[in-house]
Chains A and B, each alone.
Chain A
Amino acid sequence: MARLIVMGGGVSGHTAATFAKKWLGNDHEVVVVTPNSQWNWIPSNIWVGVGQMTKEEVTFPLAPVYEKAGIDFRQAKAVSIHPHGNKESDKEYITIEYTGQGKEGQTEELTYDYLINATGPKLNFGATPGLGEGTQIGEHTVSVCTADHAVHANLELRQIFEKAKAGERQKILIGTGHGMCTCQGAAFEYIFNIEHEANNAGVRDMVDIKWISNESFLGDFGIGGLHMKRGGYAASSRLFAESLYSERGIPWIIGAHVSKVDAGKVEYELLDGSTGEEEFDFAMLIPPFAGVGLKAFDKKGEDMTDVIFAPNGFMKVDAKYDAGAYENWKASDWPRTYQNPTFSNMFACGIAFAPPHLISKPMSSPNGTPINPTPPRTGMPSGIIGKAVAHSICSLIKEGENAHLHEASMAEMGAACVASAGKGLTTGTAAALTVYPVVPDFEKYPGLGRDLDYTFGEIGLAGHWIKHILHHLFIYKAKLKPGWTLIPE
């Protein structure tokens, strides 16, 4: 009997674990180690952040779902990996520290035959002075990265609206809180939902809303933007992004590295080296991401973290990490199997794998400050990668070490994204986008990097209906309800 341990129960890890258990049945063990007791449909946190959904609508307890599936659930955080075992045994294992199940603080060693790192991002608020400490958000800004953060964000937002109603002009600042953030799309959704809610609350004329991000152009989204067919033209996402911001009366600051956050004020540096300040009464700034901080130790107990992990804390996989300058980048730099190059029984999926480099062009200020979006891994690619990794491991378990590994390169897959611009059954809108491929392939698609026939976007009520349906569909799928495997990632 083989044991597969999946570290992380988010979109990617949960997908990997549930499919692995389905394919392996009771012949083998699947263990999920994840510190949260709840699964969170993160895309809908935006709506929690504006009070249009409750926390309970975007989360559900994992334990009953895993029990039903026959998955061994440990509510714990993974701390270290020991791929050579220790002095007593050659058997590889991880160490975990419980965060629930009545064992809070207790540590345990779990041996494994196969390991998936699906630990997602460390919300690195501490990377920007004043934004927070370590993974804890500070007191000056709010966040929508977790359901709890989003609940708090809405409470703060309502106070802003109350002040606006009382005649006090309010300033809202939304965007990225560091020069190397990703998730511009989430901030994009939040700013337009806030604008929509401000209109609904009748206070839009008393609220100044502004965007700040590290993108070199609006609509970069961490993927270097995209092109869509419009009226016979291949139109850049920049046109559509600027259009929406202009339409909604939202000015923007781009190419910005937020260097410091104080009460009611951010300081930033721009790509041209100039600096500035922006005041706010309410701010949501996405933190930069890093790996969660897993360590690795050899048989003697000596640190070997850098063998398995990149300096940013994400796990090395079958990517080309020495691609060099932007001009040398190729689609083939991106991983296909997500297998660790040193340990063939170790994989990473979702946000936890180390990308070979950015997708957007690297940029920095004359002072040397990097100001460029880092690569996003949204829900659809994360789910597809998780499923492919699970499939590979099941093949290895059933067929042996020469089994065919399944591939899911982001340079050969598309993504469907729906970015909400306001909730409402007959008044809401969303930008429904597909990008194919996610990572541009300038050799296959010279000039634009993507297939124009499969890359499109439009804003409308239909997009909002789709986003709402996806909310229910993916929660249904994650709860493993009847027919869940029929719903694609």
Chain B
Amino acid sequence: MQRIEETVKPYDQNFTTMVPTGFVKFFRTCLIWQAIRFVLINIKMIIVVQKSH
């Protein structure tokens, strides 16, 4: 993954997008945090699946 400094150019196509900071990117692969998200996402998905059947 590239860093903001390398990928975003002033007034280029991606200048007005929302780009994650290092903090956000860290938590995407932080094992402890993602284990918690794994449980919560599964709960949310099961609820949506149940509503759909």
Contacts and interface: CB of A to CB of B under 8 A. Distances in A.
20 contacts: A204-B2, A242-B14, A242-B17, A246-B14, A246-B17, A249-B6, A249-B7, A416-B45, A432-B41, A432-B45, A434-B44, A434-B48, A454-B44, A454-B47, A458-B37, A460-B33, A461-B28, A462-B34, A462-B41, A489-B49
Nearest to B33: A460
Interface residues of A, number: 37
Interface string B25-37: 1011111011101
B51 A414 contact: yes
Given A199-B1, A249-B7, A427-B29, A460 B37 contact: yes
B4, B35, B44: residue with the most chain A Cβ atoms closer than 10 Å: B44
A87 to B, nearest CB: 45
A248 B34 CA distance: 21
B49 A463 contact: no
A interface SS class: mixed
Q: Which 6 A-B pairs have the closest CB atoms?
A: A246-B14, A413-B52, A462-B38, A461-B34, A462-B37, A242-B17
B52 to A, nearest CB: 4
A251 B13 contact: yes
A247 interface: yes
A465 interface: yes
B53 to A, nearest CB: 6
Interface of A: 199, 204, 239-240, 242-243, 245-249, 251-252, 380, 384, 413-416, 426-427, 429, 432, 434, 436, 454, 456, 458-463, 465-466, 488-489
Interface string B1-26: 11010111000011001111000010
Contact of B41 (A239, A243, A466): A466
A429 B28 CA distance: 7
Interface of B: 1-2, 4, 6-8, 13-14, 17-20, 25, 27-31, 33-35, 37-38, 41-42, 44-45, 47-53
A415 B52 CA distance: 8
Contacts of B48: 414-416, 434, 436, 454
Nearest to B6: A249
Given A199-B1, A462-B37, A384 B7 contact: no
B29 A460 contact: yes
B38 A251 contact: no
B41 A429 contact: no
A429 B49 contact: no
Contacts of A488: 49-50, 53
